[in-house]
Amino acid sequence: MGKNTEEKWEYYEPPTSFINQANVTEDLREDTEYPECFERYADLLDWFEEYDEVLDASNPPFYKWFTGGKLNASYECIDRHLPEKKDKTALLWEGELGTTQRFSYQDLYYKVNSLAAMLQDEFGVEKGDIVTLHLPMIPALPLTMLALARLGVAHSEVFGGFSAEAVAHRMDDADSEILITADGYYRRGKLLNHKEKADKAVEAANIDVENVLIWRREDELHPNASFIEGQDVIVQEAIEDYYGEEVEPVEQDSEDPLFLMYTSGTTGKPKGCQHRTGGYLAYAAGTLHDVHDVKPSDTYWCMADIGWITGHTYIVYGPLALGTTSVMYEGTPDYPDKDRTWEIAEKYDVDTLNTSPTAIRMFMKWGKEWLADKDFDFKLLGTVGEPIQEEAWTWYYQNVGDGETPIIDKWWQTETGGNLVSTYPAVDKMKPGAAGKPLMGIEADVVDEETGKSVEPGEQGSIVLKKPWPGMLQTVYGNDERFISEYWESFSDTESNDMEDWIYEPEDEVRLEDDGYFRFLGRLDEVMNVAGHRLGTGELEDAITEVDEVAETAVASRDHPEKGEVPDAYVVLKEGVTGSEKLKDKVVSMVEEEIGPIARPANVYIVDDVPKTRSGKIMRRLLEQVSNDEPLGDTTTLRDPSIVEDIREQVHG
Ligand code: PRX
């Protein structure tokens, strides 16, 4: 049906052919009973034991979902599909060099069972443990997640691109004594030595790491990978004794944790978002079914890395719970050439592609000629992770979607477990750059940051969530107080036992449009979004001050045409130290070492001082304006307004 103009906005409508086959054809937001509406999601699972109550809100904000229900995530994603589709492809893995591995549901069953048996019998892994994974995009990652889930053991996967320090911090925080990693993986044609990060992590961790389990990427161990006797184990060797073994899926309570996913916040080290089994899995499957319109017959490709929440929910748990075919790709979209994405889409006849604005901007820059001779035909397209500019949206719609494939722009976070704001693709019109409305059962509002009062349509403010939902995090691992202070304190009556008094603040800025659509504008807090990856300025600053010569630093985000944002580091040196290119390089290397290459500062500026308020708070917003060469905001609260002028002079001349 194409484009329609209503009011001053341009709307796009899905074609009838899409509507005719859609899972959801009426607005699920209407006539919903809260919280019973979420039974719709729970019904997509096969529970060992039915739940008693959808929501137990007696102790906010520690909500319980589907109380009394028993299930196992590995059973939901594998076993229950066997009677009808054991030969159906569950996972399609594409290696960077073009090798393929195809796993049917039956294959998954065998592999996950023998792995679970090995983990249990050889390493004594049991319910209640937390096992850290530092696995890249190879099949070992979903297999290991599912094997641990089968045993009722929570996994804590650290994105493969993160550094040894990041792994060590997470192992310490979670009291996790086993690390499962790989010897290597391919990036731009090169087999990287990933094992060396495990060695450094074991050294850096305070906790005594008992074992490091290594999945070999190739037939032979990476030539430069170490092997430490007594500590290291090659999974493919240890598992041989367990071939053919079966492990009963452990009956998990709905509220038993399924995994931890660490994410950046405004202050301090990354926090472990703890996700529960029942509510999370139901929410993953439910949103995938309703919003992503996934059917068992579909081939679904979410281009995220499983090391982030998007991959957990929409590569592993959601698609496998629904019994569909999920695609995962090891490498980068420009290797060996810039048509790699379209080649994979054609090869596997992908129905739904889910990617990020960063990737779309990159495709746009590379040019549509890379798509020209490719034969793909998507049913639905997705974007997620950052605000998408209208230009990128339109390019995606016209060139990847042929001017008719519906696009869903889904807003959510690591903490929320699954999508919270989007259009329902067969029901709502699309509006480029505006994600849509809160989904079924999600009570979102936009409020003034200062007063907490709802804003009028046309105005902007902070999004808040006024009622809980099943996919939400249970708590910050080991730190209930931080859970409250990070997410609830601003607008809640924290003394109250009434759910209505508890308001969750995601810390995103939104314009509430006249038609009720939410247009997300970016983070409110000091968190950056670099190519769809969340990084705290505090985390970067902590890393930079590890450099001996650095006295103080402030990190600000600079707009970037492809990545959305990149960090700029403003660095003050200790007395007597003089700045040099070498020192700047040292700052960059320290960030890579402490966090990972994705956090690498775009620029390091050596400055005399950073702007501070009279009470000593660093004004990062002013530095952000300097980085972006924008007019400076209010500087009257600064202790010394000349500092920021000097910095501007230095940066822009
Ligand atoms: O700022 C929002 C942005 O990404 C943040 C969440 O990042 P993370 O926890 O890493 O989760 C990524 C998986 C969704 C949000 O606070 N964000 C996410 N989706 C969108 C978005 N911004 C605008 N539009 C979106 N669709």
Atom of ligand 1 nearest to the CA of 384: 26
**Residue 207, in any domain of the structure:** yes
Tell me the residue range of the domain where 562 lies.
528-652
The helices-and-strands tally (H runs, E runs) of the chain is: 20, 34
Residues near 45 by Cβ (< 8 Å), separated by ≥ 6?
Answer: 71, 76, 278, 281, 282, 285, 321
Atom of ligand 1 nearest to the CA of 387: 23
**Residue 45, in any domain of the structure:** no
Q: What pLDDT sits at residue 4?
A: 57
CA 403–ligand 1 middle distance (angstroms): 26
**CB of 387 shorter than 6 A to ligand 1:** yes
Q: What pLDDT sits at residue 1?
A: 43
Q: Which of 308, 386, 410, 422 to mutate to test the pocket of ligand 1 (most atoms within 8 A of CB)?
A: 386
The total domain count for the chain is: 2
Residue that is last in its domain, among 223, 250, 277: 250
Residues near 6 by Cβ (< 8 Å), separated by ≥ 6?
Answer: none
**Residue 563, in any domain of the structure:** yes
Query: Across the chain, what does the average pLDDT equal?
Result: 95
CA 148–ligand 1 middle distance (angstroms): 27
Atom of ligand 1 nearest to the CA of 507: 16
Residue that is last in its domain, among 250, 283, 318: 250
Atom of ligand 1 nearest to the CA of 533: 10
CA distance 532 to 173: 25
**Residue 31, in any domain of the structure:** no
**CB of 253 shorter than 6 A to ligand 1:** no
Atom of ligand 1 nearest to the CA of 421: 26
**CB of 307 shorter than 6 A to ligand 1:** no
**Residue 219, in any domain of the structure:** yes
Q: Which of 420, 465, 508 to mutate to test the pocket of ligand 1 (most atoms within 8 A of CB)?
A: 508
Ranges in the chain, pLDDT < 70: 1-9, 266
CA distance 653 to 651: 6
Q: What pLDDT sits at residue 125?
A: 97
**Residue 59, in any domain of the structure:** no
Question: Considering only CA atoms, which residue is closest to atom 21 of ligand 1?
Answer: 386
**Which pair of tokens denotes residue 275?**
């996700």
Could you please report the per-residue DSSP string of 28-68? TTTTPPTTGGGHHHHTTS--SB--SEEEE-SSTTS-EEEET
**CB of 286 shorter than 6 A to ligand 1:** no
Alpha helices in 223-368, H assignment, sequence order: 235-238, 278-290, 309-311, 318-321, 340-347, 357-366
**CB of 263 shorter than 6 A to ligand 1:** yes
Place of tokens 């029901």: 427
Q: Which of 520, 521, 523, 535 to mutate to test the pocket of ligand 1 (most atoms within 8 A of CB)?
A: 520
- Residue 521: half-sphere exposure toward Cβ, Cα within 13 Å: 14
**CB of 435 shorter than 6 A to ligand 1:** yes
Q: What is the CATH number of the domain that holds 596?
A: 3.30.300.30
Residue that is last in its domain, among 222, 250, 278: 250
CA 514–ligand 1 middle distance (angstroms): 22
Quick check: 363 and 341 in contact, CB under 8 A? Answer: yes
In sequence order, the β-bridge partners of residue 9 are: 6
Atom of ligand 1 nearest to the CA of 422: 26
Question: Considering only CA atoms, which residue is closest to atom 26 of ligand 1?
Answer: 411
Q: Per residue in 349-359, pLDDT tens? A: 999 999 999 99
Atom of ligand 1 nearest to the CA of 527: 1
**CB of 409 shorter than 6 A to ligand 1:** yes
CA distance 642 to 448: 31
Place of tokens 């409508």: 13
Question: Considering only CA atoms, which residue is closest to atom 22 of ligand 1?
Answer: 386
**Residue 536, in any domain of the structure:** yes
Q: What pLDDT sits at residue 8?
A: 59
**Which pair of tokens denotes residue 23?**
């899972």
Alpha helices in 291-339, H assignment, sequence order: 309-311, 318-321
CA 304–ligand 1 middle distance (angstroms): 13
**Residue 430, in any domain of the structure:** no
Q: What is the CATH number of the domain that holds 215?
A: 3.40.50.980
Long-range contacts of 613-619 (CB under 8 A, 24+ apart): 613/637, 613/638, 613/639, 614/638, 614/639, 618/554, 619/644
**CB of 320 shorter than 6 A to ligand 1:** no
Atom of ligand 1 nearest to the CA of 435: 26
Question: Considering only CA atoms, which residue is closest to atom 15 of ligand 1?
Answer: 413
Atom of ligand 1 nearest to the CA of 415: 9
